[in-house]
Structure 1
Amino acid sequence: MTPNAASASSGPSRRSFLASTAVATAAVAGGMPLLSACGGSDSGSRDGTTSGKDAKKILPAYVASNVVTPDIPSKNGSSLGFTSKLDLADLKTSVPKKLGKGGKVTIMSPFWGSPPKGDNPYYTGMNDLIGVDVRWQNQDGNTYDQKLGAVLASSEIPDMVVIPGWNMGGKIPSAIIGKFADLGPYLSGDAVKEYPNLAAIPTDAWQRSIFGGALRALPMPASYVPNIVPCYRKDIFDKEGYEVPRSADEFLALCKEITNAKAKRWACGDMKWTAFNSFGSLGGGEKALAWNVVDGKLINRLETEEFLEALEWTRKLFAAGVVHPDFELGKSQATDPAPKFAAGEFLIWNNDSSNWYGQTASQATQNPDFEIWGMDIFGHDGGDPVLWATNPANIFAFVSKKASESVIRDALAVANVTAAPYGTQEYMFTNYGVEGTHYTVKDGVPVKNDKGNNEVLNAFVMVASPASTIAHPDFPDVARGRVEWQQRMGAFTKKTAFYGMQITEPARYTNLTNDLEQLEDDVVRGRKKISDVQQFASEWKSKGGDKLRDWYQKILDENGSAAN
Structure 2
Amino acid sequence: MRRTPHHTWSRRSFLSALGAGAALAATSPLLTACGSRPGASPTGAVSDPDAMGAVLPNHVPVEFVAPDLPGRLGAAPGYLSYPAQLVRGVPDAPGTGGEVTAMTPAFWPIPPADNDYYDAVNERLGARVRFNIVNGSDYAAKLNAMFAGDQLPELTVIPDWDVPPRFGEAVGTVFADLTEHLAGDAVEKYPMLANLPTRAWAYCVRGNRLFGVPTPAELFAVTSFYRHDLFEELGLAPPTTADELRALCEQITDPNRNRWACGNLFLDVKRMFGVVPGWSRESSGRLVNEAETEGFREALTFMRALFADGHVHPTVAGSNTGQEKELFENGSMLMMVDGLGSWHEALARQLPGNPAFDMRPIPPFSHDGGDPVYFTEEGASIATFIRGDLEPERIEELLGILNFCAAPIGTEEHYLVNYGVEGVHSERGEGGSPQLNAKGSREVTFTYGFLGAPPPSIAQAQYPGYVQARYDWEVAAAQYKVSKIDEGLHIEEPPRLTSLEQRLDDQIQDLLRGRTPLDQLDSIMDRWRSDGGDELREFYDDALSDVGR
Establish whether TM, by shorter chain, passes 0.5. Answer: yes
Structure 1 residues 5 and 460 mapped into 2: Cα distance closer, same or farther (>3 Å)?
Answer: farther
1:403 is aligned to 2:390: yes
Displacement of 1:5 = 7.2
1:83/1:476 contact within 8 Å kept:
no
SS of the residue 1:94 aligns to: coil
Give the match for residue 3 of structure 2. Answer: none
Give the match for residue 412 of structure 1. Answer: 399
Give the match for residue 469 of structure 1. Answer: 457
1:158 is aligned to 2:153: yes
- For 1:433 and 1:530, how far apart are their aligned partners in 2? 53
Deviation string 1:392-446 (CA, Å, 9 cap, x unpaired) is 1001111111122233122211110111111211100010011222111234221
1:132/1:410 contact within 8 Å kept:
no
2:87/2:410 contact within 8 Å kept:
yes
1:320 is aligned to 2:309: yes
Structure 1 residues 82 and 279 mapped into 2: Cα distance closer, same or farther (>3 Å)?
Answer: same
1:152/1:175 contact within 8 Å kept:
no
Give the match for residue 297 of structure 2. Answer: 308
Give the match for residue 441 of structure 2. Answer: 453
5+ long unaligned stretches in structure 1: 10-41, 284-289
- For 1:475 and 1:212, how far apart are their aligned partners in 2? 44
SS of the residue 1:71 aligns to: coil
- For 2:198 and 2:496, how far apart are their aligned partners in 1? 31
Deviation string 1:17-74 (CA, Å, 9 cap, x unpaired) is xxxxxxxxxxxxxxxxxxxxxxxxx996444222433111111111111322222122
1:57 is aligned to 2:57: no
SS of the residue 1:451 aligns to: helix
After TM superposition, the score normalised by the length of structure 1 is 0.87
1:523 is aligned to 2:518: no
1:189 is aligned to 2:176: no
Displacement of 1:368 = 1.9
2:360 to 373, 385, 388: 373
1:103/1:410 contact within 8 Å kept:
no
- For 2:464 and 2:125, how far apart are their aligned partners in 1? 31
Deviation string 1:135-168 (CA, Å, 9 cap, x unpaired) is 1011111121111111111222111111101112
1:126 is aligned to 2:113: no
Structure 1 residues 460 and 250 mapped into 2: Cα distance closer, same or farther (>3 Å)?
Answer: same
Give the match for residue 485 of structure 1. Answer: 473
2:80 to 76, 79, 83: 83
Displacement of 1:169 = 5.9
2:336 to 325, 349, 365: 349
Structure 1 residues 374 and 5 mapped into 2: Cα distance closer, same or farther (>3 Å)?
Answer: farther
- For 1:71 and 1:208, how far apart are their aligned partners in 2? 30
Aligned residues: 517
Give the match for residue 69 of structure 1. Answer: 66
- For 2:89 and 2:330, how far apart are their aligned partners in 1? 43
- For 1:356 and 1:124, how far apart are their aligned partners in 2? 31
Amino acid at match of 1:199: A
Amino acid at match of 1:250: E
Displacement of 1:501 = 1.3
Amino acid at match of 2:343: W
1:258 is aligned to 2:246: no
- For 2:321 and 2:482, how far apart are their aligned partners in 1? 32
Give the match for residue 22 of structure 2. Answer: none
Deviation string 1:229-248 (CA, Å, 9 cap, x unpaired) is 22111122122211211111
Amino acid at match of 1:78: A
1:148 is aligned to 2:137: no
- For 1:476 and 1:53, how far apart are their aligned partners in 2? 47
Displacement of 1:203 = 0.4
SS of the residue 2:318 aligns to: helix
2:491 to 503, 508, 514: 503
Amino acid at match of 1:266: W
5+ long unaligned stretches in structure 2: 1-7, 19-36
SS of the residue 1:517 aligns to: helix
Structure 1 residues 536 and 136 mapped into 2: Cα distance closer, same or farther (>3 Å)?
Answer: same
Give the match for residue 249 of structure 1. Answer: 243
Structure 1 residues 503 and 266 mapped into 2: Cα distance closer, same or farther (>3 Å)?
Answer: same
2:49/2:489 contact within 8 Å kept:
no
Deviation string 1:197-248 (CA, Å, 9 cap, x unpaired) is 00010000001111232111110101233x2222111122122211211111
1:77/1:223 contact within 8 Å kept:
no
After TM superposition, the score normalised by the length of structure 2 is 0.89
Structure 1 residues 254 and 130 mapped into 2: Cα distance closer, same or farther (>3 Å)?
Answer: same
Question: How much identity, in percent, do the aligned residues show?
Answer: 34
1:280/1:388 contact within 8 Å kept:
no
1:105/1:407 contact within 8 Å kept:
no
State which drifts further: 147-156 or 170-179: 170-179
